[in-house]
Amino acid sequence: MERLKTWLSNLQDGLRSLSPHCQEAIRLQSKSLDQALTPWQRLGLRIHLILCKWCRRYTKQIRFLRQAAHDHPDRLTEASTHSLSAEARARIKRSLADDNQSRPPS
């Protein structure tokens, strides 16, 4: 049993040496959306995704956002017609003015 644990630990260490760090994995995922990765980059990224649940979660999120943008391209270019009411603008201005007055001079 101890041999199996040692073997698995050594295997995991070996895979980690082939795997990029999280920051590099995120960069590779973004890069892969625009262009093909090299075979070594793809392999390293796949190994990293097997080992890192946080980067797998990021992968799901980025795929969802890409799909949503693809499904609704009209929403990306539409300008918002919503604006604040005059009353809301006045409240914000008063709040900012009150905040600036309550700060000590620098």
Q: Per-residue pLDDT for the chain (106 aa), expressed as one digit of tens each?
A: 888 888 777 777 666 667 888 999 999 999 998 899 999 899 999 989 998 999 999 999 998 988 888 887 776 566 566 788 889 999 999 988 887 776 666 5
pTM of the full predicted structure? 0.53
CA distance 13 to 38: 23
Alpha helices by DSSP H, listed for 1-106, are: 2-18, 22-34, 39-51, 53-71, 73-77, 86-102
Q: Is the Cβ–Cβ distance between 31 and 55 less than 8 Å?
A: no
19 CB neighbour count, 10 Å cutoff: 21
